[in-house]
Amino acid sequence: MKHPTYRVVSISIVAPFTLQIMFDDGKERVIDFSPVLKGELYGPLRDEEMFRQVEIDSEVHTVVWPNGADFDPYILHDWPEHLKYMKKLVTSWKTDKVKT
């Protein structure tokens, strides 16, 4: 399935587990990731210190964390359209081992 390609050009942490993201088309999105921070990959990001280690990957131009967690820029760009699916998806994952 083809979809538009977007690049993340800047990020800033604006609240716990929340990023303000600017895309190459000028769109800006504020995303609270807390509803999807579950499972083996995203669960560790519930640790605020780990979450704050977010960076922009210079090759794929999306947000990434040291543990390998990332999100497709297309999903981030149109987050409200994908949030319901993402919430449903994470409920099927194993419970993470990070205490919340």
Per residue of the chain (100 residues), give pLDDT as tens.
677 899 999 999 999 999 999 999 999 999 999 999 998 889 999 999 999 999 999 999 999 999 999 999 999 999 999 988 888 887 776 554 444 4
HSE-up of residue 61 (Cα within 13 Å, Cβ side): 13
CB distance 9 to 24 below 8 Å: yes
What pLDDT does residue 94 have?
A: 56
The whole-model pTM stands at: 0.85
Q: How far apart are CA 68 and CA 88, in angstroms?
A: 21
Q: Give me the helices (H) in the chain, please.
A: 39-42, 48-51, 73-77, 79-91
**Residues 24, 32 contacting (CB under 8 angstroms):** no
Q: Where are the domains of the chain?
A: 8-91
Superfamily of domain 8-91: NE0471-like N-terminal domain (3.30.2020.10)
- Give the model's pLDDT for residue 67: 96
Give the pLDDT score at 1.
Answer: 61
Q: Output the pLDDT for position 84.
A: 87
| In contact, 70 and 11? CB cutoff 8 Å | no
